Amino acid sequence: MTLPRTPLMLALLSALAFAQTPIARADDVADTPQATPLATVQVSASRDKGYRADSSQIDTFGSFGNAPLHDTPAAVSVITRDQIDDRQPRTLSELARSDAALGDNYAPVGYYQDIAIRGFALDLATGYRLNDLTLTGEQLLPLEDKQRVEILKGLGGLEAGVVAPGGLINYVSKRPAEVRTATLGTDSHGSRYAAVDIGGWLSPTFGVRVNAAHEDMHSYVDHANGRRSFFSLAADWKISPNATLQLDTDYQTSGQRSVSGYQLLGGTTLPAHPSRTRMLGFEPWQQPVGIHASNSTARFNYRLSNNWSAQVSAGHSRSKIDDNVAFAYGCFYSPACASGATPGYFFAPNGDYDVYDYRSPDDTRQNDEVRAVLKGSFNTGTVGHEISLGASAFRRTLDQRPYVYDYVGTANISQVDPPYFAPSPNQAGPSARTLSSWQHSLFALDRMHLGAHWQLLAGGRFVRLHERAYDDAGVLQRDTRLDKALPQAAVMWQPTAPLTAYLSYSEGLSLGGQAPYWTSNGGTTLAPLLSHQIEAGVKYDWSDVLSLTTALYRIRQPYQFAQPDSTAEGFTFAQRGDEVHSGLELDAAGRVSPDLRLTASVNLIRARAQNTGTPSYEGHQIVNVPRLRTAVYLDYRLPFAHDLSLLGGWRYASANPATPDGVTSVPAYNVFDAGLRYGTRWHGHALTWRLNVDNLFDHFYWRDTGSAYGDSYLFPGAPRLARLSLTAAF
């Protein structure tokens, strides 16, 4: 029998050998070589914490000082690598199912997607981060090279400056490690998937890690098959005991036809017999949406002393989109809408919709950011201080060509495929800079330890924003300049080590929305929005492998909406009154027993508009914000077959409003998922089989009633889908 050569086994064998050595007699000592004392060897082991994480980058270099999640006065959840591997998500929409505080917000199949946190849609320009540096959200965000995904729920003003109030998503790259795995996969629609993860330390001080993947996607929507290819490289260099450099870069190219969403019939009625597999507006000349994206980060860390350290980091993110779609939208040209009784920006009452040839090639978005942070600790009398001081500069540009958006025909939702319509003969114009935005910031945070049980956090970010927007001819249309201080404060009470209670207050700033074209001030961008949040929470470590958290929050910002009025268009886009989201979140993550691990979350939210001057819009839940969401995922290892685990999930959302007056909502839904994981060995190589079945009972549901550029859409949830994968170590 061959014993495993683990550190613990080697230590036991050494001790056993020493115990069996005969004791020398005193007269033999002179003739016996003397043993040389060796340094003490410490043997340690870590317990499997299941789906539980202890820390995040947001805590380490961001808004809350250098502290573990347990000591962070905010709701931060982490989707671990184990969860990603076991659930096999491919898109942001699928990833968002992990937490009840998250939901889709205009997330079409075949296109880049957006989500909402606590009922607020994330800003694609600033709401997504890679290694805590801003990236362009207008891309398909790959997961093969990610170690975890961190979710800050609530205001991130101190962390990111000008950002939507819902929160932030931070993707954390895998670091170099001794790993060599390959994964092959398929699904019930015939997709093909392959990925490799290879890493190692080329020397004691320099390591690399490479991830690559290719996927041929066979979509459940007709005519929406696609493909993507991905490559990433990570490198760590331990320059000295005090200095390290971390580099990451990736590139992905993808192509897939974008799937248009449904709209309310006549602006008030849900489609009676919607199809999850039908591509509305399909025309054979419709090209795939091509997205070419690259992201790079560099982080230099230097330890100045035992109590002081510094980090300088830089990030570059670029996404070029060739947008092509035969777009199903409105009913302006349908005879069923000729009377004017039905708004032209909804489908007709009989299901008619217009088809547009939309082409916007070379739509290029670029984010660049540099940041420097100094962290240290010291005492003033009996008060201990942990401070963070920093500065950052962030630039975002947008280059676009005058797009083609031409009506080509009218179809009906009852048609399997619409009639053939000839494409527009028009072509896109030359590329021009349409947006240039600079954001300079100074930020500071002081975590004060007031005795053994109390901590006080106080800090803020000063933001200077300068943003210019141009039309297709390069003429300046908007010049936004503002300076704003965004404070943040929290008090924490820790009566015992496992328990932390906190109360926090923060302010945030986000850009105003652009008025829909069908309003009297169409195209106008409104003033920036100041948001306020107060949050109280409790975090309890039931054990070192199971954490329970709860948070009670209230977020308030000005309400933006198309206000009915007496103008010729009938609406004016305005900021009036307040949008208030008050909610309760409950979360659990970790290992309940040696064989059972889970993540579970509940989000109960009351999102209302008040003092808007439009009584019919008040007293109702905000559009696309269900009052209740739950998300539960289990991993149960069979006691009589430890190589085999059962996986299961349950997702619930209550009725979801689809109109601001509360008249129309999509029904509540329950969706159940199931799966298996089997680990074995073949010729000394570890093999892991995974089978996941999403929407086990093939239930129809509307997953999204969100909006884009002021227009509202309905997206059905995916039908039953089975994914099978095999991961082999080599």
Please, which pLDDT band fits residue 563 given cuts at 50, 70 and 90? very high
Report the alpha-carbon distance of residue 626 to residue 615 in Å, rounded.
21
pLDDT band at 157 (very low <50, low <70, confident <90, very high): confident
44 lies in some domain? no
pLDDT at 50: 64
Indicate the length of the chain as a whole number.
Answer: 730
What is the CATH number for 343?
A: 2.40.170.20
- The answer as to whether 12 is a domain residue is no
State how far the Cα of 117 lies from the Cα of 166, in Å rounded to an integer. 5
The residue type of 70 is H
Q: Is 683 exposed, middle or buried (0-12, 13-18, 19+ CB in 10 A)?
A: exposed
Spatial neighbors of 586 by CB under 8 A, at least 6 apart, are: 549, 550, 600, 601, 602
> Which pLDDT tens digit goes with each residue over 448-478?
999 999 999 999 999 999 999 998 888 998 9
Q: Is residue 613 part of a domain?
A: yes
Confidence at 359, pLDDT banded by 50, 70, 90: very high
- For the sheet containing 115-117, what is the strand order? 102-104, 115-117, 120-121
Domain for residue 16, yes or no?
A: no
pLDDT beyond 70 at 567: yes
For 37-63, what is each residue's pLDDT tens digit?
444 444 444 445 668 887 777 655 455
Per-residue pLDDT tens for 99-129?
999 999 999 999 999 999 999 999 999 999 9
Q: For 156, what's the count of Cα atoms within 13 Å in the CB-facing half-sphere?
A: 30
In a domain, 162, yes or no: yes
Residue-level pLDDT at 24: 39
Contact 685, 50 (CB under 8 A): no
Predicted confidence band at 510 (pLDDT cuts at 50, 70, 90)? very high
Average pLDDT value for the chain: 91
Q: Quick check: is 612 in a domain?
A: yes
pLDDT at 614: 94
Nearest to 7 by CA among 42, 52, 57, 50: 42
Place of tokens 């066979």: 218
Total domains present in the chain: 1
Q: What is the pLDDT of residue 472?
A: 81
Print the domain residue range for 350.
57-729
Predicted TM-score (pTM) of this structure? 0.91
pLDDT at 9 over 70: no
Please report whether residue 529 resides in a domain.
Answer: yes
CB within 8 A of 90, min separation 6: which ones? 143, 215, 217
Whether residue 438 is contained in a domain is answered as yes
SS3 472: coil
**Which one is predicted more confidently, 149 or 25?**
149
> What pLDDT, on the 0 to 100 scale, is given for residue 341?
87
Query: In Å, what is the CA distance from 332 to each residue of 94, 201, 344, 347, 418?
Result: 34, 62, 5, 9, 17
pLDDT at res. 660 = 94
Residue 282 in tokens: 């399909």
Ramachandran class of 390: left when φ > 0, alpha when ψ lies in -120 to 50, beta otherwise: beta
* pLDDT, position 12: 32
- Categorize the per-residue pLDDT at 238 as very low, low, confident or very high, splitting at 50, 70 and 90: very high
